[in-house]
Structure 1
Amino acid sequence: MKCPNCDSKNLGRIGNDHYYCWNCCLELSVEKGKININQIEEDGSLSSLNDIFYQSGS
């Protein structure tokens, strides 16, 4: 698996179907065959970046 942001294979597994990219510091999770991309905020919360990576075709 590669990071959809930086195309790196430098991913660490942090749980079942949850990964962390060591190059661009994003958390990735796989759910029903789709990769969800989250940014980790300073307070430890996650902000979804799916809207940036998966824009609708409208």
Structure 2
Amino acid sequence: MMRCPNCHGKDLGRIGSQQYYCWTCFIEMAVEKNKLKVHQVEPDGSLSSLDDLFSEEERKI
């Protein structure tokens, strides 16, 4: 079971074939090469990377 790297919750929704959204802390994640790419959704709808806040180990799936 995949967990959110930020809040460690399991309340994830699928928004694309390899994209997920955490309903607890409101971040978006995409799976690339068995690693999560983590993004914050900005008010204008754009995405800002949060990858630098998490270690490689935390982003592994």
Query: TM-score, normalized by length of structure 1?
Result: 0.90
Instruction: Give structure 1 regions of 4+ aligned residues with deviation exceeding 3 angstroms.
Output: none
1:4 is displaced (CA, Å) by: 0.4
| 1:19 matched residue in structure 2 | 20
| 1:9 matched residue in structure 2 | 10
List gaps (5 residues or longer) in structure 2. 57-61
User: For residues 31 and 20 of structure 1, what CA distance do their matches in structure 2 show?
Assistant: 15
| 1:29 matched residue in structure 2 | 30
CA RMSD of aligned residues (A): 1.1
Q: RCO greater where, 1 or 2, for CA within 8 Å and sep 6 or more?
A: 2
List gaps (5 residues or longer) in structure 1. none
Give, as a single letter, the amino acid of the residue that structure 2 aligns with 1:21: C
Pair member with larger Rg: 1
1:40 aligns with 2:19: no
Size of the aligned set, in residue pairs, is 55
Give, as a single letter, the amino acid of the residue that structure 2 aligns with 1:15: G
Structure 1 or 2: more helix by fraction: 2
